[in-house]
Amino acid sequence: MPVAERILLRPVTMGLLLQSLLLLLILLLLGCCLHPAAAFPKGCYPSEEEGLKTFRCSNARLTEIPRDIPNDTNKLYLDSNRIPFLPRDAFRDLPLLLELDLSHNVISSVESGAFRGLAEHLHSLDLSSNRLVSVSKDAFSNLKAKVNLSNNPWLCDCRLQELIRTVELVAGSSGGIVCDSSAQEEHVGKAFLQVIADTDFCNVYKKTTDIAMLVTMFGWFAMVISYLVYYVRQNQEDARRHLEYLKSLPSKQRRSEESSTISTVV
């Protein structure tokens, strides 16, 4: 190739090389700034619905709460998975969350503080169709969201009664809170709100506790009385034996012993 042609082609080659380097640099910068789709669990994806940032993980075969949920999420769908329990601070990095759907999982335990950080903004929480039997009211403390607790195998007792009084139920969902088990067999299969219309589980528990305390106090009282009676009778028996002993002594020695006994008593 003539020297003149090589001189003319050199700027073109350099320009193409610079363009390639610039394009590579841009791609690298975009890769660092954008959240890669591969970071999301399989079956999860972000979207925007009605102007709200949504993160869907429905039917994603999850066995725990995902960690890579965008912290600006407004609506989170974790329904129809295999999540067994909700740990403490499970949603603490989602300060803008408005709706949370956890229905159709296998949740049987909700730790106290599981919804910490959601009290101010969350307005809808769906825990229907899980395996909840008993949950402490503390797990929902300060939560203002409307909660769906239907279709769970609830144990109807004072704990559930306190929980129902703590949360605000989704309209029309109360009929789905049914007694799967109860201390009284006739409650099984009935809607919980129907049962507590006639039975106050917490009053029954309080009465049982009061009776147990009274029985315990009576037991201690009876033991003290029994000991006092035994002590008095034992002293009377000792005194009687001592008097019989004094009577068996000669008169002079008896008077001396009686005087000694009186002095001792005084």
CATH topology of domain 38-199: 3.80.10
Query: Minimum mean pLDDT among 58-62, 130-134, 176-180, 262-266: which range?
Result: 262-266
CB 164 within 8 A of CB 197: no
Q: What tokens were used for 64?
A: 């725990």
For residue 5, the one-letter residue type is E
Beta bridge partners of 156: 182
Average pLDDT (42-60) is: 95
SS (H, E, C) the chain: CCHHHHHHHHHHHHHHHHHHHHHHHHHHHHHHHCCCHHHCCCCCEEEEECCEEEEECCCCCCCCCCCCCCCCCCEEECCCCCCCEECCCCCCCCCCCCEEECCCCCCCEECCCCCCCCCCCCCEEECCCCCCCCCCHHHHCCCCCEEECCCCCEEECHHHHHHHHHCEECCCCHHHCEEEEECCHHHCCCEHHHHCCCCCHHHHHHHHHHHHHHHHHHHHHHHHHHHHHHHHHHHHHHHHHHHHHHHCCCHHHHHHHHHHHHHHHC
Average pLDDT (167-181) is: 96
Q: What angle is formed at CA 157 by the lines to CA 156 and CA 163, rounded to 5 degrees?
A: 90
Instruction: Give the number of residues written for the chain.
Output: 266
For residue 114, the one-letter residue type is A
Question: 217-250 pLDDT, tens per residue?
Answer: 555 555 666 666 666 666 766 666 666 665 666 6
The bridge status of strand 52-56 relative to strand 45-49 is: antiparallel
Task: Name which residue leads in pLDDT, 78 or 68.
Answer: 78
pLDDT of residue 16: 57
pLDDT of residue 40: 85
Mean pLDDT computed over every residue of the chain: 80
Question: 195-223 pLDDT, tens per residue?
Answer: 998 899 998 644 444 444 544 555 555 56
Confidence of residue 41 (pLDDT cuts 50, 70, 90): confident
> Residue 14: is its pLDDT beyond 90?
no
pLDDT of residue 229: 66
> Residue 163: is its pLDDT beyond 60?
yes
pTM: 0.65
pLDDT of residue 88: 95
Average pLDDT (28-48) is: 68
Phi, psi (degrees; rounded to nearest 5) at 143: -80, 125
> Which residue is it, tokens 């969201």?
145
Average pLDDT (46-59) is: 95
Give the number of other CB atoms < 10 A from CB of residue 258. Answer: 13
CA-atom Rg of the chain in angstroms: 40
- Can you tell me the distance from the alpha carbon of 109 to that of 176, in angstroms, rounded to the nearest whole number? 19
CB 182 within 8 A of CB 156: yes
Domain boundaries, given as residue ranges, for the chain: 38-199, 200-231
pLDDT of residue 109: 96
- Can you tell me the distance from the alpha carbon of 75 to that of 48, in angstroms, rounded to the nearest whole number? 9
Confidence of residue 119 (pLDDT cuts 50, 70, 90): confident
Task: Name which residue leads in pLDDT, 188 or 261.
Answer: 188
pLDDT of residue 230: 65
Task: Name which residue leads in pLDDT, 152 or 257.
Answer: 152
